[in-house]
Amino acid sequence: MSQPIQALNILGGPAPVAQPAPVANTPQDDTIHEVVIVGSGPAGYTAAIYTARADMKPIVIAGALDAGGALMTTTDVENFPGFPEGIQGPELMTNLQEQAERFGAEVIYEDAVDLQLAGEVKRVTLDDGTVYQAKSLIITTGSAYRKLGIDGEETLSGKGVSWCATCDGFFFKDQEIVVVGGGDSAVEEATFLTRFGKSVTLVHRRDALRASKIMARRAEADPKLSFVWNSEVVSINGADKVESVTLRDTVTGQERVLPTNAVFEAIGHLPRTDLLRGKLELDDEGYIVCTGRSTHTSVPGVFAAGDVVDHTYRQAITAAGTGCQAALDAERWLADTAAGIDVEDAVAHTVAQ
């Protein structure tokens, strides 16, 4: 087996390819900025474009390893409006970043490790110790791949276990591939992997796909794709590369071993809200709760946009749209509070629009 060359980052996803040169940070930044944006996917950079154009001089905490977000590990993006021939994910993200920088956004390639949201001045601490202070925050931290949490998953990650078909599919040319999941992601990944694999087996824990009808029909008609229903993967086996998975029938409880060279997990995502637990309102699944159709979180002056809020649509264009909303909400919030309007009234002003 060819070794997948991409190391996995802390999110369990593949580390992105080349990043622009890091901007040197000062150890301490005493300025109280108008806005700091935490996260750098389509939502973060769109918020940066809008706040920069409003002369709010945004700071974007882009992340040390995963700047640009999930699209940095995608190839063709064919459904982002404005690109009739499609565009590569990394190129789209570089364009968005450059567009934000053109209007004065400052992009910092470090991870936020602590967020203090209470009070008028919010504080964002980075892993190099720098603290940024701001009157408003926009959280666009996106989501990470959900993991199965089974034996062999961590030890064999990068050795046949992957969360990204477009990144790693190529390494399994003419080999046996298992995909786990039953939603649109699993079906899309499985269909894509039939380009490479000798066979692709989609293992789903129920007897019906959650995926949209059109994608399911396409997958069911694919001769290289087969389905194992009512089965969960209980372990991924192999010494230094994936050799098989152990499956348990969810109806009979019977276990069996299925030989395979690769396991692609596509079982959904988890919002990246660990730094926010106990600091603002999250829903049962950990997504940030916003007020009405606005991007106001439960903490005045803190806004959220993109996949960290969105259970449902999770598209680059919807993330970009909510990034724009967050910028407009933050701009109005700052103008209202600067004009002496009471905090509650300033929230109500935006939410009522």
Catalytic residue among 111, 167, 290, 336: 167
| Range in contact with ligand NAP (rule: CB under 6 A) among 127-135, 192-200, 204-212, 218-226 | 204-212
Task: Give the C-alpha separation, 342 to 136, whole Å.
Answer: 15
Distances (CA, A) of 90 to 65, 68, 293, 333: 14, 8, 30, 32
Closest separation between CB of residue 166 and ligand NAP, Å? 12
Site for ligand NAP in 133-192 (CB under 6 A): 146, 148, 180-186, 188
Binding-site member from 104, 268, 286, 321 for ligand NAP (CB under 6 A) = 268
Closest separation between CB of residue 329 and ligand NAP, Å? 24
Q: Which residue is nearest to ligand NAP (CB)?
A: 183
Nearer to ligand NAP, 53 or 146 (CB): 146
Task: Give the C-alpha separation, 119 to 138, whole Å.
Answer: 15
Nearer to ligand NAP, 32 or 257 (CB): 257
* Cβ contacts of 318 within 8 Å, gap of 6 or more: 310
Closest separation between CB of residue 202 and ligand NAP, Å? 10
Question: Which residue, 1, 120, 20, is CA-closest to 63?
Answer: 20
Element holding 136 (H helix, E strand) = strand 131-139
Nearer to ligand NAP, 22 or 321 (CB): 321
Task: Give the C-alpha separation, 131 to 156, whole Å.
Answer: 37
Question: Which residue, 132, 131, 137, is CA-closest to 117?
Answer: 137
Place of tokens 């959650």: 210
Reply yes or no on whether 164 is catalytic.
Answer: yes
Would you say 88 and 78 are in contact if contact means Cβ atoms under 8 Å apart?
no
Reply yes or no on whether 283 is catalytic.
Answer: no
Nearer to ligand NAP, 62 or 179 (CB): 179
Site for ligand NAP in 311-350 (CB under 6 A): 312, 314
Chain-centroid distance of CA 56 in Å reads 26
Distances (CA, A) of 164 to 133, 246, 257, 312: 36, 21, 24, 20
Contact status: 309 vs ligand NAP (CB under 6 A): no
Contact status: 205 vs ligand NAP (CB under 6 A): yes
Catalytic residue among 164, 290, 310, 329: 164
Reply yes or no on whether 290 is catalytic.
Answer: no
Element holding 246 (H helix, E strand) = strand 244-249
Nearer to ligand NAP, 77 or 326 (CB): 77
Contact status: 210 vs ligand NAP (CB under 6 A): yes
Residues that bind ligand NAP (CB under 6 A): 146, 148, 180-186, 188, 205-206, 210, 232, 267-269, 312, 314
Catalytic residue ranges: 164, 167-168
